Amino acid sequence: MQYLFLSGSLRKESLNTQLLQLAAKHTGSPLSAIVDLNQYNIPLYSGDIEAVGIPDGVQKLSQKIEQAQAIIIASPEYNYSISGVLKNTIDWVSRVRPMPFRKKPILLLAASMGPIAGIRGLWQTRIPLEGLGNYVYPDMFSLGVAHEALNEEGFTNPDDQKRFATTLDGFSEFAKRFS
Ligand X SMILES: Cc1cc2nc3c(=O)[nH]c(=O)nc-3n(C[C@H](O)[C@H](O)[C@H](O)COP(=O)(O)O)c2cc1C
Site stretch for ligand X (CB under 6 A), options 51-59, 71-79, 132-140, 155-163:
71-79
CB environment 156-177: b (16+ within 10 A), e (fewer):
eeeebeebbeebbeebbebbee
Q: Does 140 bind ligand X (CB under 6 A)?
A: no
The smaller minimum CB distance to ligand X, of residues 4 and 149, is found at: 149
The amino acid present at 38, given as its one-letter code, is: N
Q: Which is nearer to ligand X, 104 or 120 (CB)?
A: 120
129 vs 122: CA distance, rounded Å = 11
113 binds ligand X (CB under 6 A): yes
Distance from C-alpha of 73 to C-alpha of 69, rounded to nearest angstrom: 13
Contacting residue, 4, 16, 27, 125, with ligand X by CB under 6 A: 16
Q: Does residue number 112 form part of the binding site for ligand X (CB under 6 A)?
A: yes
CA atoms within 13 A on the CB side of 78: 13
Q: Which residue is nearest to ligand X (CB)?
A: 114
Q: Angle at Cα 150 formed by Cα 153 and Cα 79, nearest 5°?
A: 150
Buried b (16+ CB within 10 A) or exposed e, 107-132: bbbbbbeeeebbbbbbebbbebbeeb
Q: How far is the CB of 179 from ligand X (least distance, A)?
A: 29
80 sits near ligand X (criterion: CB under 6 A): yes
Task: Provide, rounded to whole angstroms, the least separation between the CB of residue 85 and ligand X.
Answer: 10
x/- mask, ligand X, residues 142-171, rule CB under 6 A, reads ------------------------------
Q: How big is the site for ligand X, counted in residues (CB under 6 A)?
A: 16
Instruction: Name the residues that contact ligand X, by CB under 6 A.
Output: 9, 11, 14-16, 76-80, 111-114, 116, 118
